Amino acid sequence: DAKTTQPPSMDCAEGRAANLPCNHSTISGNEYVYWYRQIHSQGPQYIIHGLKNNETNEMASLIITEDRKSSTLILPHATLRDTAVYYCIVRSGSRLTFGEGTQLTVNP
Amino acid sequence: EAQVTQNPRYLITVTGKKLTVTCSQNMNHEYMSWYRQDPGLGLRQIYYSMNVEVTDKGDVPEGYKVSRKEKRNFPLILESPSPNQTSLYFCASSQDRRNYGYTFGSGTRLTVV
């Protein structure tokens, strides 16, 4: 699976959009981009995934660049409950390899 | 409710005493996996299974065994636990290889003394 690079931490004001970047420059054509988050020591929670088109669901939006070498997860109106570690993962098979992720802190 | 259930949630045991952490999913998922999470090392995959009777090593399989005799269950077995296996363990399942998210269990915090 391709390696991903994320900033170690980010801050966001409550009610504002949180934009979390991820670089995956070695991604191959059949690899999907997945985003998960982990709140404290709970089990990671699936957020969204995509191949090459932008995706949106009730939790977030995923913007993938045309060359697929990077993506951005957007939480449109961050709340205090969105404080978590966010993982960007590139997946081609059944294995899911987690990196260090981004600690997002939403401030009141 | 669709979920992955792990038991126990907490376990303290002594070195060398065999133990099993159970994992069960009710979503008819083909793929199941075990992870351990340690401070500073993140989530690392121990074993995974693509279907019944098909298992494979992940990144840190030493000291662990798994079995997949039926689709819904994927127990993690520590034949002779050691203190370096003290960790937070997660089981996860998924419906498809690439186009479906993994659902994770709530975790098992294991302490080996």
- pLDDT tens digit string along A78-96? 999 999 999 999 886 667 7
What pLDDT score does A2 carry?
A: 63
Residue B113 has pLDDT above 70, yes or no: yes
Residue A41 has pLDDT above 70, yes or no: yes
Distance CA B5, CA B12 (A): 19
B37, B66, B102: best mutation site toward chain A, by most A Cβ within 10 Å? B102
CA-to-CA dists, residue B97 to A12, A65, A81, A96, B48, angstroms: 34, 23, 30, 10, 12
Polymer length of chain A: 108
pLDDT tens digit sequence for A59-80: 999 999 999 999 999 999 999 9
Could you give the percent of chain B with pLDDT greater than 90?
84
B40 touches chain A (CB under 8 A): no
Encoding tokens for residue A19?
Answer: 């934009």
State the average pLDDT for chain A: 92
Q: What is the dihedral of CA A14, A15, A16, A17, to 10 degrees?
A: 100
B90, B93, B98: best mutation site toward chain A, by most A Cβ within 10 Å? B98
Helix extents (H) in chain B: none
Question: Number of C-alpha atoms within 13 angstroms, CB side, residue A84?
Answer: 22
Across A4-27, average pLDDT: 95
What pLDDT score does B96 carry?
A: 66
CA-to-CA dists, residue B31 to A2, A7, A56, A102, B107, angstroms: 20, 30, 25, 26, 18
In the stretch 8-27 of chain B, residues with CB closer than 8 A to chain A read none
More confident: A29 or B93 = B93
Distance CA B18, CA A106 (A): 43
Q: Do B97 and A93 touch (CB under 8 A)?
A: yes
Dihedral sign from CA coordinates of A13, A18, A21, A22: positive
Q: Do B99 and A44 touch (CB under 8 A)?
A: no
Across B35-54, average pLDDT: 92
What pLDDT score does A91 carry?
A: 80
Across B40-44, average pLDDT: 87
User: How many Å separate Cα A2 from the centre of its chain?
Assistant: 15
